[in-house]
Amino acid sequence: MNLKTPLPPTFKSRLPSVGTTIFTTMSALAAEHEAINLGQGFPDFPCDRALIEEVNSAMLANHNQYPPMIGIKGLRDGVAQKITTLYGHAYDPDSEITITAGGTQAIMTAILACVSPGDEVIIIEPAYDSYRPSIELAGGIPIAVSLMVHRDEQGQVNSYAIPWDALTNAINKNTRLLIINTPHNPTGMVWKSSDLERLAQLLKNTNVLVMSDEVYEHMVYDGQQHHSIAGNPALASRSFLISSFGKTYHVTGWKIGYIAAPQSMMQEFRKVHQFNVFTVNTPMQYALAVYLKNEQHYLSLPHFYQAKREFFRNGLKDTDFKLSPTPASYFQCADYTGLKIPQAKSNEADFCTWLTTEVGVAAIPVSAFYKQPVESGVIRFCFAKQEQTLHTALQRLQSI
């Protein structure tokens, strides 16, 4: 008997234009070809063993059942204290801070909480790839403006700037939310205190909310400081602030972060959060609550990652890659169009595929951070790797 399995019923896709993310694609390609993965943004070195010991202790202390929906008090208190110490704004840990299943869950939940069908949400491209689909799932309309790209005399990208005129023109009565990202992924650009003040003035007489993605807040270099949305009272009063323990403590696989916002905004966030994930991994929360008490665990990050940045940049300085300034984040953008090889004429996605399969180093095309690919000849490397990993990758890149 030849019985055919019936096909499932068809339904309309909620995200018809979305496929597999570029990060998943390039990581899979890197694994297939045994290439060094400088594409996806995660460390290849271990986290502090003391943090692992705190998780183990929490498990042995029987912290293995549901924690409070908003996160355990000790961790919320620690987050509130950190924000007050660093940025001067006092969030109430009981009503204004929620522990989340990573930054991406916080982003989607915040958007679902405040964006209704037909609302416009402004994003600044190149943009983290979860912003747009989260807006579309909420029924919102993404409105993209692009960072201003500055080029040198040879036409190669050397810096990025905030598109103030485009931002001003994009805001209207239908604008519900503006998403900013500082330090910026993929470019490493940072917002200055004066930029935040200018944004506050721009939004002063509007009902526009702000979501500030600050997951790389502790990776700012050359003696500079991260300027958080929390440090500007006018913006803090209308903003969701998002950060990530995974990025800060080299535990991206734990998927744990936090969001801070005024009480009325947080009430709406928590309504969605409780039905989205309900709550977050219990023993990790107890461990992080202890680990967060030592401020050196995050204040030491600029020195740690700046050394990796310099090692990577020095390894490429005698090549034909043109490196953009990297004031923050753990990403290095590089213009490859000066390479004296035929592949330098390829588009960014094809060049990254060639680089992975033939050279053995995976990178991410910056064009993937735009809805409509903007071919600038720029790719993104992640330097959050062990020195030996970077050394081997540099040897391969130097051979081009």
pLDDT for residue 150: 85
Q: Over the stretch 312-347, which tens digit does the pLDDT of each residue have?
A: 999 999 999 999 999 999 999 999 999 999 999 999
- For residue 211, give the nearest of 254, 256, 179 by alpha carbon: 179
Q: Over the stretch 143-187, which tens digit does the pLDDT of each residue have?
A: 999 999 888 887 777 789 999 999 999 999 999 999 999 999 999
- Report the mean per-residue pLDDT for the chain: 96
Specify the CATH architecture of the domain 22-47+299-398. Alpha-Beta Complex (3.90)
How far does Cα 73 stand from its chain's mean position?
26
Rg of the chain over Cα atoms, rounded to whole angstroms, equals 22
Quick one: angle between helices 282-291 and 73-87, nearest 10? Answer: 40
Q: Which residues of the chain form CATH 3.90.1150.10?
A: 22-47+299-398
Q: What percent of the chain has pLDDT over 70?
A: 100
Q: Over the stretch 74-115, which tens digit does the pLDDT of each residue have?
A: 999 999 999 999 999 999 999 999 999 999 999 999 999 999
- For the segment 30-56, the average pLDDT, to the nearest whole number, is 96
- The Cα–Cα gap between 40 and 246 comes to 14
Q: Which residues of the chain form CATH 3.40.640.10?
A: 49-297
pLDDT for residue 348: 95
CATH number of 49-297: 3.40.640.10
Least confident window among 1-5, 19-23, 177-181, 351-355: 1-5
pTM: 0.95
- For residue 250, give the nearest of 70, 44, 82 by alpha carbon: 44
Structure tokens at 61: 């202390």
pLDDT for residue 152: 81
